[in-house]
Amino acid sequence: MSPKVLEAGPYIFWFHSYDARFENRASIHIGRSSQDDENDAKVWLEPEIEVARSGRRLRRHELRTVLAIVEENQAFFLEEWHEYKRRAGG
């Protein structure tokens, strides 16, 4: 299960269950109107915000928009990530 963490306009911010189980760095996936791992952007939340992959659906200006949302919500995302990772057994 890959839970949705936040919706902002057409953007969905979600955690990938694989990441929570097998990666040490916190990350969030961002899609437009859906959760699609193959096409969505992925952003590292730590040690600093960094684009892991830009995805196929977000245009450059949209990527800038979602990065600003990630910056505004970084503490919330990290808190949720660590709780989700703990529950996922990662």
Structure confidence by residue, pLDDT tens digits, 17-29: 899 889 989 999 9
Phi/psi zone of residue 27: left (φ > 0), alpha (ψ -120 to 50 degrees), beta?
A: beta
pLDDT at 79 over 70: yes
pTM of the model: 0.92
**Helices of type H across the chain:** 17-22, 60-88
Q: Is residue 31 a contact partner of residue 57, using CB atoms and an 8 Å limit?
A: yes
